[in-house]
Amino acid sequence: MNLDLFDEEDRLYQWREDLYPGAVVLRRYAMAQDRALLAAVESVVAVSPWREAFTPGRLKMSVLVTGCGAYGMTNDGDYGMRAIDPVTGMAWPPMPEIFRELGVNAAAEAGFIGYLPNMVHINRYQPGAKLGMHQDRGENDTLEPIVSVSLGLPATFKMGGFQRADKSVNVPLGHGDVVVWGGPSRMRFHGVLPVKPGTHPLVGALRINLTIRYVK
Ligand code: MD3
Ligand code: FE
C-alpha cells in the first residue's frame, strides 16, 4: 500500500453523525490540522507541563492532564476551574488561536452560534488509560457546548444518560474526530474505555483529547 497516498485520501472525507439532540460527531473534522494542533499542544505543555490528576475520591487517574486559556482544571479531585496553574503558580498559557477557531467552527457546524470558548483542558492517554463515567460540571454553565478533539490512538467513548446508572452507548473515536456536546446533551454522563495498545503514525503510542470549553 502507498502510505502517502492513503494519508492524502484520509484527509478527503469528513461526515457528521447526530447522536442525540445537541450531540454531534464531526468525523475527521480536525484531520487536516492535526500537525498544527499537536504543535499547539506541545507549546502548551512547554509552559504548563503534563501532570497527574486525582478523582473526587482521591484516586490517581490514569490520564495526565494540562490546559490553557483563562482557566484550567485543578488536578486535586474537585474539578474546579482556576485562573492560576497550581503546578507552576503562574497563569495558564494563552489559548492557541487554532484551538479557539476549531472550537468556534465545530460548534457552529453543530448549530451553536456565538460560542466564545475561553479554555482548553487536555487529557493524555497511554495504552490502558481510561476515564470513568462522570459529568462535566466545573464550567458553571450547563448549556454552552464542549468541543472534544481526538488525536492519536483510537478509543471507545461511552455516552450515557443523566443518571450514572443509565444505559450508555459506545461511540468509537479516532484521530481527527471532533464531537460537540451542548444544549440538552451537555449534562450527560460520559467516559472513555481503556485505550488499546497501538502506535499512531503521527502521535505514537498515545491518545490526546482536547476539550474546548467556555467557563463562566
Ligand atoms: C458528553 N474527556 O475531559 S470529552 C473530560 O476523551 C472528558 O478525554 C473525554 O470527558 C476524553 O471531561 C472526551 C467528551 C465530552 C465532554 C463533555 C460532555 C463528552 C460529553 C458533556 C456531555 C456529554
Ligand atoms: Fe468529561
Return the closest-CA partner of residue 41 out of 95, 80, 102: 95
Is the residue at 91 inside a domain? yes
Say what the pLDDT of residue 139 is. Answer: 81
| Number of domains making up the chain | 1
Torsion sign (Cα): 31, 215, 155, 52: positive
Is the residue at 46 inside a domain? yes
Say which residues have a Cβ less than 8 Å from residue 44's Cβ, sequence separation at least 6.
66, 67, 68, 93, 96, 120, 122
Distance of CA 169 to the CA centre of its chain: 18
Q: Which domain holds residue 44?
A: 16-213
Residue nearest to atom 14 of ligand 1 (CA): 148
Say what the pLDDT of residue 57 is. Answer: 85
Nearest-angstrom CA–CA distance, 191 and 173: 12
Q: Is the CB of 181 under 6 A from ligand 1?
A: yes
Is the residue at 143 inside a domain? yes
In the reported structure, the alpha carbon of residue 136 is separated from the centroid of ligand 2 by a whole-number distance in angstroms of 5
Say what the pLDDT of residue 6 is. Answer: 47
Is the residue at 89 inside a domain? yes
Q: Exposure string (b/e) for 145-182, b if CB count within 10 Å is 16 or more? A: bbbbbbbbbebebbbbeeeeeeebeebebbbbbbbbbb
Minimum-distance ligand 1 atom for the alpha carbon of 73: 3
In the reported structure, the alpha carbon of residue 170 is separated from the centroid of ligand 2 by a whole-number distance in angstroms of 15
Is the residue at 11 inside a domain? no
Q: How many CB atoms lie within 10 A of CB 80?
A: 12
Mean pLDDT, each 10-residue run in order, the chain (216 residues):
50 83 94 97 98 90 98 84 96 98 97 96 98 90 91 97 94 97 92 98 98 96
Is the residue at 202 inside a domain? yes
Say what the pLDDT of residue 12 is. Answer: 61
Is the residue at 5 inside a domain? no
How many alpha carbons fall within 13 Å on the CB side of residue 25? 18
Say what the pLDDT of residue 2 is. Answer: 43
Q: Is the CB of 185 under 6 A from ligand 1?
A: yes
Is the residue at 2 inside a domain? no
Nearest-angstrom CA–CA distance, 18 and 25: 6
Say what the pLDDT of residue 120 is. Answer: 98
Q: Is the CB of 209 under 6 A from ligand 1?
A: yes
CATH number at residue 68: 2.60.120.590
Q: Which residue reads 469528513 in cell numbers?
A: 14
